[in-house]
Structure 1
Amino acid sequence: MCAMRQTRPERREGPSLRRGHLVPESTYDQRLLDRRGPADWLHMDPWRVMRIQAEFVEGFGQLAELPDAVTVFGSARTKPGSPDYELGVELGRALAEHGYAVITGGGPGCMEAANRGAREAGGVSVGLGIELPFEQRMNDYVDLGVEFRYFFVRKTMFVKYASGFVTLPGGFGTLDELFEALTLVQTGKVTSFPVVLLGTEFWGGMFDWIRSSVLDRGMISETDLDLIQLTDDVDEAVQIIAEADGRRGARLAAERRAVEREAVEREAIERAQVETQ
């Protein structure tokens, strides 16, 4: 029985689980983006829109009442007990002790480590899973897990419900998430949103390349480098997030006061106009 469990293919598709011969040969993302073959996709895409809409609704519904949260990225291939894994556990614990929920991709490696640290510290541990051609199960330290079919829906949830990103060492997926976050901040799509790289030995070479090649060729501005915070200190990473949170809270409070003041002034003007008629 155990041998069958180990060899039998398995895949999650949103809220569903398929095993054995019921596992399809392609994923929803592959079928959405594939324009080869017959033109019947022209008739199927409107229905896909409904499924995408349903994923957004489900994600918003599940995550809307989270406390302030931080999204943690990092490699799924990091082994338990390794320095990067232990760093992830320490980070998850520190974020939870500071009152933040911890959001990860819900998989193994660095994601598991951050979820584990948050869970062991009594915090809220969240995993946002994704359908992949190979099965990647939700790790055991996730308290709230949401499975997605489409990467872009999942990425929206990573940003919408987070006060910032902390990025542990990782591969292509981690780099994709990192640079998408930086692009959103650079273009003003999200504001007061810190992006912290944890691990100077791992990230230092990339940062030097950005400075020496990308900046030197005028492809980014000097101020764009300030969007990236590089550290080895977990407490410093949490402090960067907390300070940005404080600035955002102060800005929102000021904007609220300005709106209220404007409403009072407008009401006074309207009252004066009525009295003079």
Structure 2
Amino acid sequence: MSFATVSNLGSLINFKKFHGRTAAAFQSSSGKWRFGVNFNCRESQPCRRRKRLLCKSEVDDFEERTSPHEIAELLECTSWTGAGPGLMDAATKGALQAGKPVGGFKIGKEAGEWTASNFHPYLPTETYLTCRFFSARKHGLVDAAVRNKATDRTAVVALPGGIGTLDEMFEILALIQLERIGSELPVPFIVMNYDSFYKKLLEFLDDCEYSGTVSRGEVASLWKICENNSEALAYLADFYHLSPLD
């Protein structure tokens, strides 16, 4: 979840597996079908897994610390993003730098922006949908993480972020906890705890366990906390029984 199918969700990015030619049509809040997105992927380069990232905050040294193109390049996947600024944009640009197709669900006015816009500054208009409500973007991006069959490989990854990212993180937690994410197959949820960014949040959840408002071990069973990209990729390789990436 940015939660970059990778992906708010505020800074949500979705790396989705496609073979051959796939079209996606999205319905706007007005009920009108806006567009179909068509991507071509070479069968000789199969997608290892699809991935979702979420985060909204602006991090100046994000590229130096996390190499946003690294994930898209290693996963050989199509990327779906929140099509917004900050880490969403870093992940979008990273996927493009890796030579992978990108689509997105855009909100007219993101947090921290002074003016609203229905258009992305550089993505082709046929590759993204501008949503009026955050719920529409959440629904689309969460649905993209659903595993319809065992060979589908998806993940939700939360990057450092603010209120919108926390909203999305806890929504995903609740959906996984209540088995309402829309998939009978498990979907891995990774939280990127760069520089111990989520230390206080994790301590708060520990306090919740101590006070009895959360069952002991309940939250830990719903997500995986990773300190760096290598740890996250290793976890996904183990989750899907894949050979570790170089």
TM-score, scaled relative to structure 2: 0.65
In 1: Cα distance, 2:95 partner to 2:142 partner: 19
**Aligned position for 1:151:** 134
**Aligned position for 1:204:** 199
Greater share of helix: 1
Where do residues 5-84 of structure 1 align in structure 2 (5 Å cutoff)?
52=29, 54=31, 58=34, 61-62=36-37, 69-75=50-56, 77-79=57-59, 82-84=60-62
In 1: Cα distance, 2:72 partner to 2:226 partner: 15
Give the 3 Å change call, closer, same or farther, for CA 138–51 of structure 1 in structure 2: closer
* 1:224 match: secondary structure: coil
In 2: Cα distance, 1:132 partner to 1:152 partner: 14
**Aligned position for 1:131:** 108
How far did 1:103 drift?
2.3
Q: Which has the higher contact order (CA 8 A, sep 6+)?
A: 2
Contact 1:64 1:161 in 2 (8 A): no
Stretches of structure 1 that go unaligned for 5 or more consecutive residues are 1-49, 248-277
Q: Give the 4+ runs in structure 1 shifted more than 4 A.
A: 63-68
**Aligned position for 1:28:** none
Larger radius of gyration: 1
Give the 3 Å change call, closer, same or farther, for CA 164–53 of structure 1 in structure 2: farther
Question: Could you tell me which of 225, 239, 244 is aligned with 2:234?
Answer: 239
How far did 1:128 drift?
1.3
In 2: Cα distance, 1:92 partner to 1:215 partner: 37
AA partner of residue 173 (structure 2): L
Stretches of structure 2 that go unaligned for 5 or more consecutive residues are 1-26, 42-46, 146-153
In 2: Cα distance, 1:72 partner to 1:125 partner: 13
Give the 3 Å change call, closer, same or farther, for CA 64–172 of structure 1 in structure 2: farther
Whether 1:181 and 2:161 are equivalent positions in the alignment is no
Relative to structure 2, which stretch is displaced further, 160-169 or 175-184? Answer: 160-169
Question: Could you tell me which of 91, 99, 112 is aligned with 1:122?
Answer: 99
In 1: Cα distance, 2:72 partner to 2:231 partner: 11
* 1:140 match: secondary structure: coil
How far did 1:215 drift?
1.5
In 1: Cα distance, 2:82 partner to 2:136 partner: 13
* 1:69 match: secondary structure: coil
Q: Output one character per residue of 1:131-153: Cα deviation in whole Å (capped at 9) or x when no partner.
A: 33832653536793221122212
Contact 2:28 2:34 in 1 (8 A): no
Whether 1:217 and 2:211 are equivalent positions in the alignment is yes
How many corresponding residue pairs? 191
